[in-house]
Every structure is written in C-alpha cells, then in structure tokens.
Structure 1
Amino acid sequence: MAPPLTPGSFMPALKYPVRSFGSRTVDFNRHVALMAIVNRTPDSFYDGGRTFALQAAVDAALSAVHDGADWVDIGGAPFAPGPAIAAAEETDRVLPVIQQVRAASDVVISADTFLPEVAEQAIAAGANVINDTTGLRNRDLAAVVAASDAHVVITHSLAQPRTAVPRPHYDDVVAEVVDFLLRQVERAVSLGIPEDRIIIDPGHDLNKNTLHSLEITRRFSEISGLGHPTLAAVSNKDFIGEILDLPKQQRVEGSLAAAVMCILGGARIIRMHNVAAARSAINVVEAALGWREPAYLRHNMGEFNSP
C-alpha cells in the first residue's frame, strides 16, 4: 500500500512498486533510487570523455556507489547526433565495465543501449536493466529483455539516437509523451515483457526544446500517474543551461531543483551526474515525506536547547 499523500507531493499508484534487481529490492512507494551516469565514450555529453578509459569508467562507477548511488547507468554510445557506433565496438566499451562493477558491488546496473546484441551480452555480464532511449521500438531488443530477468526503461523520443529532429513540435508535449509511453508499454507486454519489469522515462530534452522539458517537469505527475516507476533524467541538461545561462559544469543546483520537482511529481528514479549532491537532496526529500529517519536528532532535543 502506498503511503498517505503528503501536501505538495504526488504519490503515484504504482502497479508493482516493489522491484527486485538481482540481490537488491527497491520499494518505490518509499524510496527514490539514485542512478549515477558512467559513459564510456570519447564525446560524452557532460564529461567529454573523462571516463572513456576502462579503469576510469570502473573507478567512476564505484566512486558513485561510495557516494550513495543505488544504481549505475553504463553507456557506450551517445544519443546526440553523430555517426553510428557498431554493436561490437559498443559491447567492447560497456561489457568490461559491467563485469568489473558487478564483481565489486551489488549495485543496480543498467546498460544504456538500444542494440539487441549489446543488451544480451550486458545482461549476461550482470546488468539488471536495459535503458533504451528509443522507447523499445526494436522487437529484437524486446525479445532479449523478455527472455531474461532484466527490467527495461522505455524512454520517449521522436527520433533514433544519433539523429536530429529540427524544431520538434508538439501540440501538447505531456499528452503526446503519455500516449507514446502507453502504446510502448502495451507493445512491450505484447512482446513478452511483464509489466512488473517496466520503467518509463519522459525523455527530458530528447527531441524537445526547453519549453517542452519545463512542461514535462511541471506536469510530471501526469506521466508518473501511469502507474510505472518513472525515471527523470534532468542532470545538467540543456534546458537547465538555457534557464540559468550557465555551462554544463555549473548546472548542479539547477539540476537538483528540477530533480526535486520531479520527485514531488512522482519520479522514483533520478539520473544524475553529481552523485553526492543528489544523494543529499534525495535524503532530505525522503525525510520530509516521512520515508527516512534523520541521521541523528540533537537540535532542541536536550535539557538545554539551542535557539
């Protein structure tokens, strides 16, 4: 049963709130999972290739776990426009990272891929989730997930990764995102993926301008209200930069504000680059919602109280 509604927040009626990811169990009725980002690419959106080397990627993943990440999202191919990455090359990038992180931790691991060949090997190496930015358009990818115990993230986007959509247009971006996600969830189920292994993501900034991403943030409850754990990937994105007129490395505070808005709108997974800061923000929100006890109680708790 979901906890009672807290003023100022939306509690989605999740169909399957308790999820098992390998040895970890997450109750999304009482917990917001923090997903860290590790991209083993030379042209990563945020770090520009800082974690392209294998050991740098593994170290970044384990550092994120140390800083409080529940989940590490490992990718080997950017979404941004550019040449396609061959399945063999993408596999060579992500597989050893997944293997080494899995050997060192029980953290939830997702493979950020839309290629069936990569997904199959990633799951065999220890990935618990396939994070598909194409929204599960590929039947073969659905078959790989269906044949495993892995979860899948179904993300809204208008175009295939590595391609551009000039001036994306929506009559009502939230309504159209909701319609797409509903259809793709139905497609996933029809292709053999159980509903209790489906997660959804409205895809902030993916083929959307800043006004679209702001509308999604403001009306996040309409998306989380579909009943599936919903992911908000807002970290350091262009819509944050355009609001604040700041470069990527200076968008932490804005990203945290957007993430908290999404949590209060029902988001249950937050994908963030700055793990320690995001962990603190999530802990405060969970405590305010009554899901988490403070680390200690000292202020005004003794015989001699402070002002």
Structure 2
Amino acid sequence: MPVIFGDHSLDLSRPRIMGVLNTTPDSFSDGGRYYQSGRLSLPLALQRARQMLDEGADMIDIGGESTRPGAIPVSEQEELDRVVPVVEAVAGELGALVSVDTSSPAVMRESAAAGAGLINDVRALRREGALEAAQRTGLPVCLMHMQGQPDTMQKQPEYRDPVQEVRDFLLERCEACLNAGFQADQLLLDPGFGFGKSLEHNLELLRRLRELADLGYPLLVGLSRKSMLGKLLGRDVAQRLPGSLALAMASVQRGAKIIRVHDVAATCDVLRVFSALEDQAGAHSP
C-alpha cells in the first residue's frame, strides 16, 4: 500500500529519492547556496527544488537549522522565516511532496499549514511539545536516532552494540508516537548515520541495516557526502559523489526505502539500475 503524505501518496515498493534543500547559511554541503547579499533568496531555492524534481526527486526535504557536527542552534523565529516561505512555494507553485526537516513544534505546525507532507525530525520528536504538535498535523513523521546533540555529538560517541541500541531507541520512539495517537503507517525510521557515531559505528549500522529495515517501518537513510566518506576516501565534500552512490546502492540492497541525497540525477540512475535488476530477478523467480 502507498504511504499517504498529506495530499500526496508514494508507493514505497521501490526505493525513492529525497532531495536536500537546506535554507541555512552553514549546512556542511549546500549551506549559503541560496543566499544573496546575506539574505535567503526564495527564487534561488525554488529554482534548485525545480531542478531536483526534474532530475527525478520524489520529494524535497527543506531544513532551516543546520545539524552538522558542531552546529549552533537557531531561534524558532529564524527557522520559521527560513523554512515556511520555501515550503509554501515548493508545495504550492511546484506541486511537490515536501518534507520539513525540523525539531521545532512551531515549524511543524506552520509547515503543515503551508503544504508539507512529512515531518523529518533528527531529534525523534523529543523536543518539548514536538510530539503533540506533530500528531495534530496529521502528517507522517520520520524518527531519527541521534546520540547527544549536534554541537557535541561527534566528540566521543560510544556504544556497546550500535545496531541494537539504535534499534531499541527507534522502537521506544515508535511506541511513544503510537501512544500519542499516531498510526503505525504514519511512522518512518532513520538510523541517523553521522549523528553521534564514529566511522566504525556507521559501517556497522550499514552492514546490518537489514535488521532495522525488518522492523516493519519504512527506512529512510541519509549518507550523501557525509564525513564518513572523507575518512574512508580522503575526499572533501565536493569529491564524494562516487562514494555517496556506493552508499546509496548498499542502503537499498539492505532494505532502505527512501534515500536522502544532494546529487539527485546520479542517484536516480543508480536506483533505476537497482530496480531493473530487482524486476528482472522477479520475472525469473518461480
């Protein structure tokens, strides 16, 4: 069955692409890209969203607070100013399925009213008032695992078993959502690659990703251009496309349903090859 995202529905029987659109001056990859004279440019943001949709993105993920390692929190009003006009334009003018990347209850409410179809929260609705605000929107939510907070999360992450601990956390947050009135088909999960995890933790999570995919909730992953590729390959952010594509393929092979990426066209090619192989295998199965 398709997942309902506000006014949109999406069949997750094959992998889908979420294009990243950060309306921040300081995100690690595209921060400041849509600014002119120190101010966010709505036409530039809209142009980028249109480009990603043309390249094959199934949804656009709009965020106004950087959560890169060491990031400084922004005020609620500043996040609202960065996010809501872009959500309204991308959903309204382009008719796109919009995900809003936020932990703020006010941004959740205002973005839903502006046309967002998914709430994507790196803090898994743990900020005060977020669980209730998200549930009242009626939208599905993506719950992500993060150890610590963005400003400190990469200092010394520690786990006994990263996969088991991420699994337990996500199931606990699912239970909290169900108790708050969410339906099971409104929940998606994200293991949070790079959020309070060392290179070894990230690789173990990816190797055993099927254990999280088998929990029964659609799995969203974000590995595009991340620092683990810098550590593995010695490449800076602009040189990480081949590594990002390898991680995208590895993720879908292990059950991921939505891949959050910066490089939409190239990732779309990878997923088309994967889907063609899966279709061919299905056609030859007894």
Normalised-by-shorter TM-score class: over 0.9
Q: CA deviation at 1:240?
A: 1.3
Q: Secondary structure at the match of 2:56?
A: coil
Match of 1:7 in 2: none
Q: Do the aligned partners of 1:36 and 1:73 also contact (CA within 8 Å) in 2?
A: yes
Superposed structure 1 runs of 4+ greater than 6 Å apart: none
User: Does structure 2 retain, via aligned residues, the 8 Å contact 1:98–1:122?
Assistant: yes
Q: Report the CA distance between 1:273 and its aligned residue.
A: 0.2
Q: For residues 51-82 of structure 1, what are the alpha-carbon distances to aligned partners after superposition, in whole Å with 9 as ceiling and x for unaligned? A: 24322211111111111100100000011323
Name the structure 2 match of 1:100.
89
3-state SS, counterpart of residue 266 of structure 1 = coil
Alignment equivalent of 1:70, drawn from 37, 47, 58: 58
Q: Which amino acid aligns with 1:72?
A: I
Partner of residue 284, structure 2 = none
Instruction: Give 1:298's aligned residue.
Output: none
Mark the structure with the bigger radius of gyration: 1
Within the candidate set 129, 142, 146, 1:153 is matched to 142
- Which stretch of structure 1 is more off in the superposition, 119-128 or 44-53? 44-53
| Correspondence list, 1:138-287, <5 A | 138=127, 140-287=129-276
Instruction: Indicate the SS of the match to 1:102.
Output: helix
Which residue pairs with 1:38 in the alignment? 21
**1:165 Cα deviation (Å)?**
4.7
Query: 2:103–2:122: 8 Å Cα contact kept in structure 1?
Result: yes
Instruction: State the AA in 2 paired with 1:77.
Output: E
- Give the letter aligned to residue 145 of structure 1: A
**Displacement of 1:31 after TM fit?**
1.7
Contact 2:131–2:180 under 8 Å retained in 1: yes
After TM superposition, give the deviation of residue 105 of structure 1 in Å: 2.5
How far is 1:161 from its partner? Answer: 3.6
Determine if the alignment matches structure 1 residue 26 to structure 2 residue 10. Answer: yes
Report the secondary structure of 1:270's partner residue: strand
| Rounded Cα–Cα distance in structure 2 between residues aligned with 1:142 and 1:195 | 15
The residue type equivalent to 2:5 in the other structure is F
Structure 1 unmatched runs, 5+? 1-16, 293-307
| DSSP-derived class of the 1:271 partner | strand
Cα deviation, residue 146, structure 1: 1.2
**Contact 2:147/2:153 (CA < 8 Å) preserved in 1?**
no
Q: Which ranges of structure 2 fall in alignment gaps of 5 or more residues? A: 282-286
- TM-score norm. by structure 2 comes to 0.92
User: Whole-Å Cα distance in 1 between the matches of residues 151 and 61 of structure 2?
Assistant: 19
The reply on whether 1:50 has 2:22 as its aligned counterpart is no
Identity %: 36
How many Å separate the matches in 2 of 1:289 and 1:82? 40
SS of equivalent residue, structure 1 residue 114? coil
Quick one: distance in 2 between partners of 1:139 and 1:26? 30
For residues 41 and 55 of structure 1, the distance between their equivalents in structure 2, rounded to whole angstroms, comes to 15
Query: How far apart in 2 are the matches of 1:148 and 1:82?
Result: 28
SS of match in other structure, 2:170: helix
Contact map agreement 1:132 1:155 (CA 8 A) in 2: yes
Q: Deviations over 1:184-213 (max 9, x none)?
A: 100111111211111000000101011111
Using the alignment, how far apart are the partners of 2:132 and 2:86 within structure 1?
Answer: 24
Contact 1:185/1:198, CA 8 A, preserved across alignment: yes
